[in-house]
């Protein structure tokens, strides 16, 4: 596990009074009928095979007549398909969902999904935040939100970040197998940036194992002296790593408890963005 050094002074306070952005609103404007229809779609999506009305009703916790009415309505809109007759009729997801899903993916870019969450994350942590994707073995910054401090970090859009020594880069590496990490390291090298940079394959694999275990990565002065960066991966609708997000700030007496809390916030924010990108929970 990365050792967090705590020798620099003056940490900014962490605002824990604001919860992370919710995945979806709920309350008095939620329509029960629509919510149940979505539950039916989720039930069919989770099943390995097509389902009968009784199966759906049992999972839904509703009567067969209610389940049948919902299934028939969804089938009329091509969101559900069926085969068989009478009590033998079986239901599965319809191709209309593929059309809607394709349109949703084409209109929702990672940057569009990430920016509102990054603004909230920066407001909570008082640290600069950013989102990046991977291209040819390098993390490329797509967008950022500057923190309120006078110091600005060089995190410009299109900026290129090494994977082995940055929070966002190591978060991305954590989504790859050890063999893939080794291949990437051999292609790009492990150049030293500071006295704390990981420069060997064995040390990198050990650190990435900790990233997978924690769910977030820590760049502890590995890319720039006196700078701490914490990153988490973004997952898209295919289940693949789409990139990552991170927060960056001066390392000023950052106690371990604060680093862990920041990691939890970054990870929760990344999960919310991934959910918008279509990742399953």
Q: Rounded to 5 degrees, what angle do the CA atoms 248, 125, 115 make?
A: 75
In whole angstroms, what is the distance from residue 11 CA to residue 39 CA? 45
Strand locations in the chain (E): 80-83, 90-93, 128-135, 138-145, 160-161, 217-220, 227-235, 241-250
Could you identify the residue written with the tokens 């009729």?
Answer: 89
Q: Based on C-alpha coordinates, what's the Rg of the chain? A: 23
Instruction: Please check the confidence at residue 150 and state whether its pLDDT lies above 90.
Output: no
**pLDDT tens-digit readout, 227-240:** 999 999 999 988 99
**pLDDT tens-digit readout, 167-203:** 999 999 999 999 999 999 999 999 999 999 999 999 9
Q: For residue 231, give every residue at least 6 positions away whose Cβ sits within 8 Å of its Cβ, in sequence order, or none.
A: 166, 167, 168, 169, 170, 171, 172, 216, 217, 219, 244, 245, 246, 266
In whole angstroms, what is the distance from residue 208 CA to residue 175 CA? 9
**Measuring CA to CA, how many Å separate 187 from each of 180, 197, 230, 245?**
11, 18, 24, 23
pLDDT of res. 266: 97
Q: For residue 177, give every residue at least 6 positions away whose Cβ sits within 8 Å of its Cβ, in sequence order, or none.
A: none
3-state secondary structure of 37: helix
pLDDT of res. 11: 46
Is 0.75 topped by the overall pTM? Answer: no
pLDDT over 90 percentage in the chain: 59
Instruction: Identify the H or E element spanning 268.
Output: helix 256-276
Cβ atoms of 35 and 87 within 8 Å: the answer is no
Q: For residue 46, give every residue at least 6 positions away whose Cβ sits within 8 Å of its Cβ, in sequence order, or none.
A: none
Structure tokens, 264: 């939890």
In whole angstroms, what is the distance from residue 68 CA to residue 19 CA? 39
Cβ atoms of 198 and 211 within 8 Å: the answer is no
DSSP state of 126: S
Q: How many residues does the chain have?
A: 281
**pLDDT tens-digit readout, 249-265:** 888 767 788 899 999 99
Confidence of residue 28 (pLDDT cuts 50, 70, 90): low
3-state secondary structure of 90: strand
Could you identify the residue written with the tokens 């916030």?
Answer: 265
In whole angstroms, what is the distance from residue 134 CA to residue 139 CA? 4
């Amino acid at each position: 596990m990365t050792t967090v050094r705590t020798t620099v002074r003056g940490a900014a306070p962490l605002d824990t009074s604001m919860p992370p952005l919710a995945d979806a609103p709920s309350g008095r404007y939620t329509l029960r009928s629509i919510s149940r229809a979505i539950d039916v779609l989720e039930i069919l999506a989770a099943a390995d095979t097509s389902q009968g009305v009784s199966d759906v009703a049992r999972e839904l916790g509703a009567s067969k007549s209610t389940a049948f009415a919902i299934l028939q309505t969804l089938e009329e809109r091509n969101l559900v398909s069926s085969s068989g007759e009478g009590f033998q009729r079986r239901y599965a997801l319809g191709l209309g969902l593929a059309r809607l899903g394709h349109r949703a993916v084409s209109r929702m870019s990672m940057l569009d999904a990430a920016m509102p969450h990054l603004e909230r994350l920066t407001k909570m942590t008082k640290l600069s935040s950013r989102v990046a994707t991977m291209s040819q073995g390098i993390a490329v910054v797509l967008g950022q939100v500057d923190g309120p401090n006078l110091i600005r970090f060089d995190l410009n859009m299109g900026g290129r970040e090494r994977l082995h020594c940055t929070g966002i880069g190591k978060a991305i590496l954590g989504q790859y197998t050890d063999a893939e990490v080794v291949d990437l390291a051999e292609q790009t090298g492990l150049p030293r940036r500071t006295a704390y940079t990981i420069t060997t394959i064995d040390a990198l694999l050990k650190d990435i194992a900790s990233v997978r275990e924690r769910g977030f990565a820590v760049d502890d002065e590995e890319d720039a002296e006196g700078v701490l960066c914490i990153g988490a991966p973004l997952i898209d609708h295919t289940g693949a790593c789409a990139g990552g997000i991170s927060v960056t700030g001066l390392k000023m007496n950052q106690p371990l408890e604060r680093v862990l809390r920041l990691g939890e916030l970054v990870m929760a924010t990344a999960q919310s963005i991934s959910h918008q990108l279509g990742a399953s929970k």
